[in-house]
Amino acid sequence: MLDDLRVLRDAVRDYRLAATAAGLDWPDQDESPTGQAPDVVHRIFGVDHIAEQLTWLQSQRWPERRLLPNGGWLMSWPEGPDVLDYLWLAVGTPFPWRQQLPLFHFEYAIFTFVLAGEHEGEIWRYEISPDAWDSVRAATSLATLFDQWTRGIEAGLIVYEGEYNKWLQIKDLESGPGLDPLAFPVAPVEETLLRARQRECGVNMAIVEDGFAYNEELSDAIGAVKASLGSA
């Protein structure tokens, strides 16, 4: 789902305010106008347009530090096809594996933005593990994701521990009523919840059950696309 741009701006602002109130160093700054995605992005991901919501987020001049829960950071626009290597765990997605842009990088997970089709604007997550077939929707939209993170901070379940790790740490999500654990970059994910959400959002469970074999096919497909793009 693509957010109304005003809703997204408010959600990102509220997250920044909550994060700074918790102790994160994130100075206020004027909002930057929406820019344009580099042409190479269209080629890499095989799409003919990039949503304004994504280009707006990428246009904001965030400090170069870990501003997201569990030390995550916003990934910049990709410069070449090597970014597709992040998608090697996109097993069983209900949209073409290539049509998603790696957007948020965490220690144990990658969150992507779906670029086209009926799932455009959704945020999907992939645990960085060779044995985890956990393709699943993390949030229906960017604003929904930031709202979950804000609520986690306000509930005291995401805290800033600046003495050693100068970023926000996720503590106990189970005590946060109304929070969606899949919106947070924690691993491993509780399997019953994971499988239920996969069925709900259209993940091909037959492929997931044979994830290892499909992962090899996906790796080959990624290699073929990268070869066709050359230096992009």
Query: What is the tens place of the pLDDT at every residue in 179-193?
Result: 999 999 988 888 899
Q: Summarize pLDDT for 89-100 with one digit per residue, the tens.
A: 898 999 999 999
Question: Of residues 152 and 161, which shows the higher confidence score?
Answer: 152
Question: The domain containing residue 102 runs over which residues?
Answer: 5-229
Assess whether pLDDT exceeds 50 at residue 175.
yes
The tally of domains found in the chain comes to 1
CATH code assigned at 187: 3.40.1580
Retrieve residue 138's tokens. Answer: 């993390």
Burial class (CB in 10 A: 0-12, 13-18, 19+), 76: exposed
| Full-model pTM | 0.94
Three-state secondary structure of the chain: CCCCHHHHHHHHHHHHHHHHHHCCCCCCCCCCCCCCCCHHHHHHHCCCCCCHHHHHHHHCCCCCCCCEHHHEEECCCCCCHHHHHHHCCCCCCCCCCCCEEEEEECCCEEEEEECCHHHCCCEEEEECCCCCCCCEEEECCHHHHHHHHHHHHHCCCEEECCCCCCCEEECCHHHCCCCCHHHCCCCCCCHHHHHHHHHHCCCCHHHHHCHHHHHHHHHHHHHHHHHHHCCC
